[in-house]
Amino acid sequence: MDPYALKTLNAERRARRAAILVTDLGDGRDRIVREGDQVAGDLGTAIAKAFRTGNSGSVEAEGRTFFLNAHLPQPRLVVIGAVHISQALAPMAKIAGYPVEIIDPRTAFATPDRFPDVALHAEWPEDVLKRQPLDSYTALAAVTHDPKVDDFALKAALDANCFYVGALGSRKTHAKRVERLLAMGASAEQIARIHAPIGLDIGAASPGEIAVAVLAQAIHAFRSRGLDAKGAAA
Protein backbone atom coordinates (compact mmCIF):
# COMPACT_ATOMS: atom_id res chain seq x y z
CA MET A 1 0.00 0.00 0.00
CA ASP A 2 1.13 3.53 -0.74
CA PRO A 3 2.59 4.97 2.53
CA TYR A 4 0.60 8.21 2.22
CA ALA A 5 -2.63 6.26 1.65
CA LEU A 6 -1.88 4.10 4.70
CA LYS A 7 -1.22 7.17 6.86
CA THR A 8 -4.45 8.80 5.68
CA LEU A 9 -6.47 5.62 6.23
CA ASN A 10 -5.15 5.16 9.77
CA ALA A 11 -5.97 8.78 10.61
CA GLU A 12 -9.55 8.33 9.41
CA ARG A 13 -9.96 5.13 11.41
CA ARG A 14 -8.65 6.74 14.60
CA ALA A 15 -11.17 9.55 14.16
CA ARG A 16 -14.06 7.08 13.61
CA ARG A 17 -14.60 8.30 10.06
CA ALA A 18 -15.40 5.95 7.20
CA ALA A 19 -12.98 5.59 4.30
CA ILE A 20 -12.46 3.25 1.37
CA LEU A 21 -9.09 2.28 -0.04
CA VAL A 22 -9.56 2.13 -3.81
CA THR A 23 -6.89 0.12 -5.64
CA ASP A 24 -6.66 0.08 -9.43
CA LEU A 25 -5.79 -3.57 -10.11
CA GLY A 26 -4.40 -2.61 -13.50
CA ASP A 27 -1.60 -0.34 -12.34
CA GLY A 28 -1.67 -0.93 -8.57
CA ARG A 29 -2.28 2.70 -7.66
CA ASP A 30 -4.12 3.42 -4.40
CA ARG A 31 -6.28 6.29 -3.31
CA ILE A 32 -8.43 7.00 -0.27
CA VAL A 33 -12.06 8.03 -0.68
CA ARG A 34 -13.70 9.52 2.40
CA GLU A 35 -17.42 9.29 3.03
CA GLY A 36 -19.01 12.29 1.37
CA ASP A 37 -16.35 12.63 -1.34
CA GLN A 38 -17.88 12.90 -4.80
CA VAL A 39 -16.88 10.15 -7.25
CA ALA A 40 -18.61 10.10 -10.62
CA GLY A 41 -19.87 7.23 -12.74
CA ASP A 42 -20.15 3.53 -12.03
CA LEU A 43 -17.18 3.65 -9.67
CA GLY A 44 -18.95 6.28 -7.59
CA THR A 45 -22.07 4.11 -7.43
CA ALA A 46 -20.03 1.11 -6.28
CA ILE A 47 -18.23 3.20 -3.66
CA ALA A 48 -21.53 4.57 -2.31
CA LYS A 49 -22.83 1.01 -1.96
CA ALA A 50 -19.66 -0.05 -0.14
CA PHE A 51 -20.11 2.81 2.33
CA ARG A 52 -23.67 1.64 3.05
CA THR A 53 -22.90 -2.05 3.41
CA GLY A 54 -19.32 -2.05 4.65
CA ASN A 55 -18.54 -4.84 2.17
CA SER A 56 -15.22 -4.95 0.33
CA GLY A 57 -14.72 -6.44 -3.12
CA SER A 58 -13.72 -5.92 -6.74
CA VAL A 59 -15.79 -3.89 -9.19
CA GLU A 60 -15.66 -3.16 -12.91
CA ALA A 61 -15.97 0.51 -13.85
CA GLU A 62 -14.86 2.67 -16.75
CA GLY A 63 -13.23 -0.34 -18.39
CA ARG A 64 -10.97 -1.02 -15.41
CA THR A 65 -11.03 -3.28 -12.37
CA PHE A 66 -10.81 -1.80 -8.90
CA PHE A 67 -10.69 -3.35 -5.46
CA LEU A 68 -12.64 -1.48 -2.80
CA ASN A 69 -11.42 -2.08 0.74
CA ALA A 70 -14.09 -0.58 2.99
CA HIS A 71 -13.19 0.65 6.46
CA LEU A 72 -16.27 1.70 8.44
CA PRO A 73 -16.34 2.49 12.16
CA GLN A 74 -18.38 0.00 14.13
CA PRO A 75 -21.83 1.50 14.67
CA ARG A 76 -22.73 1.89 18.32
CA LEU A 77 -25.82 2.64 20.35
CA VAL A 78 -25.99 5.20 23.15
CA VAL A 79 -29.11 4.96 25.29
CA ILE A 80 -30.16 7.83 27.52
CA GLY A 81 -32.09 6.24 30.35
CA ALA A 82 -31.55 3.11 32.43
CA VAL A 83 -35.17 2.01 32.13
CA HIS A 84 -37.01 -1.24 31.36
CA ILE A 85 -36.80 -0.61 27.60
CA SER A 86 -33.03 -0.26 27.94
CA GLN A 87 -32.78 -3.56 29.81
CA ALA A 88 -34.30 -5.33 26.82
CA LEU A 89 -32.57 -3.19 24.20
CA ALA A 90 -28.99 -3.61 25.42
CA PRO A 91 -28.62 -7.39 24.95
CA MET A 92 -30.46 -7.34 21.61
CA ALA A 93 -28.24 -4.57 20.27
CA LYS A 94 -25.15 -6.46 21.39
CA ILE A 95 -26.31 -9.56 19.48
CA ALA A 96 -26.84 -7.36 16.39
CA GLY A 97 -23.25 -6.13 16.65
CA TYR A 98 -23.85 -2.73 18.22
CA PRO A 99 -21.80 -1.92 21.33
CA VAL A 100 -24.09 -0.25 23.86
CA GLU A 101 -23.55 2.50 26.40
CA ILE A 102 -26.25 3.58 28.83
CA ILE A 103 -26.27 6.99 30.48
CA ASP A 104 -28.54 7.95 33.36
CA PRO A 105 -27.72 10.18 36.34
CA ARG A 106 -30.39 8.47 38.44
CA THR A 107 -28.29 6.08 40.49
CA ALA A 108 -31.32 4.07 41.61
CA PHE A 109 -31.81 3.01 37.97
CA ALA A 110 -28.24 2.94 36.63
CA THR A 111 -26.92 -0.04 38.57
CA PRO A 112 -24.72 -2.95 37.47
CA ASP A 113 -27.29 -5.38 38.85
CA ARG A 114 -29.87 -4.10 36.38
CA PHE A 115 -27.38 -3.80 33.51
CA PRO A 116 -24.74 -6.54 33.75
CA ASP A 117 -22.01 -6.52 31.11
CA VAL A 118 -23.05 -3.09 29.79
CA ALA A 119 -21.00 0.11 29.71
CA LEU A 120 -23.00 2.08 32.26
CA HIS A 121 -22.59 5.73 33.26
CA ALA A 122 -24.48 6.94 36.34
CA GLU A 123 -23.79 10.53 35.31
CA TRP A 124 -25.42 13.39 33.47
CA PRO A 125 -25.21 13.14 29.67
CA GLU A 126 -23.43 16.52 29.57
CA ASP A 127 -20.50 15.07 31.50
CA VAL A 128 -20.24 11.76 29.64
CA LEU A 129 -20.59 13.21 26.15
CA LYS A 130 -17.87 15.78 26.76
CA ARG A 131 -15.46 12.89 27.38
CA GLN A 132 -16.91 10.60 24.73
CA PRO A 133 -18.39 12.69 21.92
CA LEU A 134 -21.07 11.33 19.65
CA ASP A 135 -20.41 10.90 15.92
CA SER A 136 -22.13 9.96 12.68
CA TYR A 137 -21.66 6.24 13.41
CA THR A 138 -23.62 6.49 16.65
CA ALA A 139 -27.32 5.86 17.20
CA LEU A 140 -28.89 7.67 20.14
CA ALA A 141 -32.12 6.62 21.84
CA ALA A 142 -33.49 8.92 24.54
CA VAL A 143 -35.95 7.01 26.70
CA THR A 144 -36.06 8.66 30.14
CA HIS A 145 -39.09 10.80 29.27
CA ASP A 146 -37.39 13.52 31.35
CA PRO A 147 -36.35 16.72 29.53
CA LYS A 148 -33.65 17.43 32.10
CA VAL A 149 -31.90 14.22 31.07
CA ASP A 150 -32.90 13.75 27.43
CA ASP A 151 -32.73 17.21 25.86
CA PHE A 152 -29.00 17.88 26.06
CA ALA A 153 -28.23 14.47 24.57
CA LEU A 154 -30.74 14.95 21.76
CA LYS A 155 -29.23 18.31 20.82
CA ALA A 156 -25.73 16.79 20.94
CA ALA A 157 -26.86 13.91 18.70
CA LEU A 158 -28.30 16.29 16.14
CA ASP A 159 -25.15 18.42 16.14
CA ALA A 160 -22.98 15.30 15.72
CA ASN A 161 -25.14 14.07 12.83
CA CYS A 162 -25.80 10.73 14.51
CA PHE A 163 -27.19 8.30 11.94
CA TYR A 164 -30.21 7.64 14.18
CA VAL A 165 -31.88 9.79 16.81
CA GLY A 166 -35.00 8.55 18.57
CA ALA A 167 -36.96 9.87 21.54
CA LEU A 168 -39.66 8.26 23.67
CA GLY A 169 -42.94 10.08 24.07
CA SER A 170 -46.25 10.87 22.42
CA ARG A 171 -46.69 13.38 19.61
CA LYS A 172 -47.94 15.89 22.18
CA THR A 173 -44.82 15.33 24.27
CA HIS A 174 -42.66 15.69 21.18
CA ALA A 175 -44.30 18.99 20.23
CA LYS A 176 -43.14 20.43 23.55
CA ARG A 177 -39.71 18.87 22.99
CA VAL A 178 -39.48 20.60 19.61
CA GLU A 179 -40.07 23.98 21.27
CA ARG A 180 -37.31 23.32 23.79
CA LEU A 181 -34.82 22.17 21.15
CA LEU A 182 -35.54 25.22 19.00
CA ALA A 183 -34.83 27.39 22.04
CA MET A 184 -31.53 25.49 22.47
CA GLY A 185 -30.51 26.47 18.93
CA ALA A 186 -31.45 23.36 16.96
CA SER A 187 -32.84 24.01 13.50
CA ALA A 188 -36.20 22.75 12.28
CA GLU A 189 -34.35 20.63 9.71
CA GLN A 190 -32.27 18.99 12.43
CA ILE A 191 -35.28 18.34 14.66
CA ALA A 192 -37.12 16.68 11.77
CA ARG A 193 -34.52 13.90 11.93
CA ILE A 194 -35.75 12.78 15.36
CA HIS A 195 -37.85 9.62 15.31
CA ALA A 196 -40.65 10.41 17.73
CA PRO A 197 -42.57 8.47 18.84
CA ILE A 198 -39.52 6.21 18.89
CA GLY A 199 -39.36 2.88 17.06
CA LEU A 200 -41.00 1.33 14.02
CA ASP A 201 -44.79 1.36 14.14
CA ILE A 202 -45.39 -2.33 14.90
CA GLY A 203 -47.96 -1.79 17.63
CA ALA A 204 -45.34 -2.36 20.34
CA ALA A 205 -46.70 -2.19 23.89
CA SER A 206 -44.31 -3.90 26.32
CA PRO A 207 -40.76 -2.70 27.03
CA GLY A 208 -39.38 -5.68 25.12
CA GLU A 209 -41.54 -5.00 22.08
CA ILE A 210 -40.59 -1.32 22.11
CA ALA A 211 -36.93 -2.34 22.27
CA VAL A 212 -37.40 -4.51 19.17
CA ALA A 213 -39.02 -1.58 17.35
CA VAL A 214 -36.21 0.80 18.34
CA LEU A 215 -33.41 -1.54 17.31
CA ALA A 216 -35.07 -2.33 13.98
CA GLN A 217 -35.52 1.37 13.25
CA ALA A 218 -31.89 2.11 14.11
CA ILE A 219 -30.61 -0.71 11.89
CA HIS A 220 -32.80 0.50 9.03
CA ALA A 221 -31.45 4.02 9.46
CA PHE A 222 -27.89 2.73 9.34
CA ARG A 223 -28.35 0.52 6.29
CA SER A 224 -30.29 3.14 4.32
CA ARG A 225 -27.74 5.94 4.71
CA GLY A 226 -27.28 7.71 1.40
CA LEU A 227 -30.53 6.41 -0.07
CA ASP A 228 -33.60 8.43 -0.96
CA ALA A 229 -37.12 7.53 0.14
CA LYS A 230 -37.46 5.08 -2.77
CA GLY A 231 -34.28 3.22 -1.86
CA ALA A 232 -32.18 4.64 -4.69
CA ALA A 233 -28.75 6.16 -4.17
CA ALA A 234 -29.15 9.85 -3.38
CATH 3.40.50.720, domain 76-223, yes or no: yes
pLDDT of the residue at 2: 78
The ranges assigned to domains in the chain are 3-71, 76-223
pLDDT digits (tens, 9 = 90+) for 23-74: 999 999 999 999 989 999 999 999 999 998 889 999 999 899 999 999 999 9
pLDDT of the residue at 233: 55
**Ordered DSSP codes for the chain:** --HHHHHHHHHHHHTT--EEEEEETTT--EEEEETT----HHHHHHHHHHHHH---EEEEETTEEEEEEEE-PPPEEEEE--SHHHHHHHHHHHHTT--EEEE-S-TTTS-TTTSTTSEEE-S-HHHHHHHS---TTEEEEE-S--HHHHHHHHHHHHHTT-SEEEE-S-HHHHHHHHHHHHHTT--HHHHTTSBSS-S-SS---SHHHHHHHHHHHHHHHHHTTTB-TTSSB-
The whole-number average pLDDT for the span 103-127 is 97
Give this prediction's pTM. 0.86
Higher pLDDT, 129 or 233: 129
How large a percentage of the chain has pLDDT more than 70? 96
pLDDT of the residue at 232: 55
